[in-house]
Amino acid sequence: MTKIADIDLGEFPLLLAPMEDVSDPPFRALCKANGCDMMYTEFISVEGLIRDATKSVQKLDIYEEERPIGIQIFGANIDSMKRAAEIVEEAKPEVLDINYGCPVKKVVCKMAGAGILQDIDRMVKLTDEIVKSTSLPVTVKTRLGWDDKTQYIEEVAERLQDVGIKALSIHGRTRKQMYKGEADWSLIGKIKENPRVHIPIFGNGDIDSPQKAVEYKNRYGVDGIMIGRASIGYPWIFREIKAFVETGEIIAPPTLQERVAAAKQHLTHSIEWKGERLGILEMRRHYTNYFKGLRNIKYYRSKLVTELDPSVLFEILSQIEEIYSKEVSLA
């Protein structure tokens, strides 16, 4: 049984990675419905949070049906991080997560996100201060290191555990790699073999199929898997992995009707939560995966990613269901 503090996540939990402009409430609802065990919000700037910036504050929105959920923050200033932790605590998530993994230049240049991997002592001190300042269980998401020469993740795991974090999620790449190349889980496996490490260790990076999830579970002994990019536009990845872990069987992919219904639900809630224009724009990255594999879908996809009228978008989605249902019935 895997637990973060006293939060029971089951035998082998699947986690939704925090992703900017992706892991918002409309998308999280679909992931939860399809078997995700724990989700994290989009990462939130502590500077934006303490300045009451609308976009940052809105990311604190969580709903009862999403629990357990973690709110993730990023920053570099200790005082700002501690003040933000107090604000997060008021939102009453199950977990406060610190982002030490974001590789984006505008975050890294401020020594936030993966930038702090250049100064492990600072990372440990900052984490220690946050753990002491909140009653919430604190978890961390990070990478193997800054570059190939500084993959200190084994030391980091021990030291962060020693200052009180309750779980560690590790993306199997360095900051220098960004999202290129193949994720290396070998160091993640070494941490699981370390007798000193007793907190849950979640692996992240390149898990895009049930078979790979089970292969990495068995090979590296992780306590659970965090899934990011493979879930975009495909929340069914969680139920597919769960079924394969439990039964060893590959279940049928979502039907065309399920795909269209999910896209419509997602678009509806995205507009409700973000407003019409932003809700429509931020849905666009999901359409490719919602309808991946459908023959000649490019024509409809190009319409979905250029149209700004919600009524027209819903009509296009209905057309996809109608036209491709006929193709399936003729097959």
Residues 147-158: pLDDT tens digits?
999 999 999 999
Residues 238-284: pLDDT tens digits?
999 999 999 999 999 999 999 999 999 999 999 999 999 999 999 99
Give the Cα separation of 18 and 240 in Å (integer): 20
Name the pTM for this structure.
0.95
Residues 104-113: pLDDT tens digits?
999 999 999 9
Q: Are 102 and 108 contacting, i.e. CB atoms less than 8 angstroms apart?
A: yes
In this chain, the answer to whether the domains covering 3-247 and 256-330 adopt an identical fold is no
Q: Is residue 331 pLDDT above 60, yes or no?
A: no
Q: Is residue 330 pLDDT above 50, yes or no?
A: no
Phi, psi of 141 (to 5 degrees): -120, 130
- What's 3-247's CATH class? alpha beta
- Per-domain residue ranges for the chain? 3-247, 256-330
- For domain 256-330, give its CATH number from 3.90.105, 1.20.960, 1.10.357, 1.10.1200: 1.10.1200
Percentage above 70 pLDDT, the chain: 98
With 0-12 / 13-18 / 19 or more C-beta atoms within 10 angstroms meaning exposed / middle / buried, residue 49 is: buried
65, 215, 227, 245, 253 from 240: Cα distances, Å: 21, 14, 13, 9, 8
Q: Is residue 214 pLDDT above 80, yes or no?
A: yes
Residues 117-150: pLDDT tens digits?
999 999 999 999 999 999 999 999 999 999 999 9
Structure tokens at 26: 């409309």
Q: Which residues pair with 16 in a beta bridge?
A: 39, 227
Element of type H or E holding 110: none
Phi, psi of 117 (to 5 degrees): -65, -10
Mean pLDDT of the chain: 95
Q: Is residue 285 pLDDT above 70, yes or no?
A: yes
Q: Is residue 326 pLDDT above 80, yes or no?
A: no
Give the Cα separation of 295 and 313 in Å (integer): 20
109: annotated active-site residue: no
Q: Are 49 and 86 contacting, i.e. CB atoms less than 8 angstroms apart?
A: no
Q: Is residue 74 pLDDT above 70, yes or no?
A: yes
